[in-house]
Structure 1
């Protein structure tokens, strides 16, 4: 799987009329989501990507599902926002999964692009990967008549670049005989042994 368009897709991108489509993979625990904004569902074969090959990406209405822009910068990309349909009753299963952070937080999210011929909507060239990251913070936006799920995705670099706030200095709380924190502080302060 390439991380940029191949020659055929690049030529299609240069045309005056173009039809790019997006494929989205969300590793929600117990129910992986594979969707596309192509005008028809597509079963992917021969991409060489285990998250794609042999799976069908279901066509979704772009009025209720959308992918925000992916903007590259130093240290990774900006946060990418997905808008998913979140209507009670219609999307109840997804709403229940989103309600449990363990089902989505920190799990993989991937996006790919492809080019379709603007006239007959056949695929031009190969798919290419353009975003890989982690699901971060979903928010329910709206009311019962027009509710959506706004799901933020963080790039791997941004995700690992955040300070965790974790420390080993409180290890003694879990093991009363562990003096490693005191020893580390003593060494940092130039003392031979902890007090």
Structure 2
């Protein structure tokens, strides 16, 4: 009986367009339901007065991907590229006063409310909206740079690759015109020419008493 009820349920589900179901008992004594009559035509005809109604399941709105929630970093995909074009990677810059200019390439242009941040040796050295950033009194030696764009709602929208550069500055500890002999210059024979001495005062004549 349970099997027959299961078959009937399946037929009712698929009988949206049909309105007639046939019921009969087969040779094994099982009750059979079908939308077509048996070959011998001996079956009870069940008329469906109302076709089955279908219920539409409401669709759930898709959640935005992480990091693209409205009002929080929704412009992460807006920036395609951010690079440091000057100084170039591994470039040595002669700047005796330590003043250099960092140039950025941002595509597309900075959007309203966003800010550019520049970091040198891990510390922030600039925050603003310009892609031409002057740096003053940069120490001699090697340094690393990277830039980032901060969205108006917070969070980093894009970050540039890192760049390493060196600053060459004149040092007061090195004077090319000074020799290692504390200011004395060497002549052709290799001897050091000392500064001229002041003339010695003449000695008073000495008189010896007669014996």
The question of a shared fold, defined as TM-score above 0.5 by the shorter chain, is answered with no
Higher helix share: 1
* Greater Cα radius of gyration, structure 1 or 2: 2
TM-score with structure 1 setting the length: 0.29
> When the two structures are superposed, what TM-score results if normalisation uses the length of structure 2?
0.27
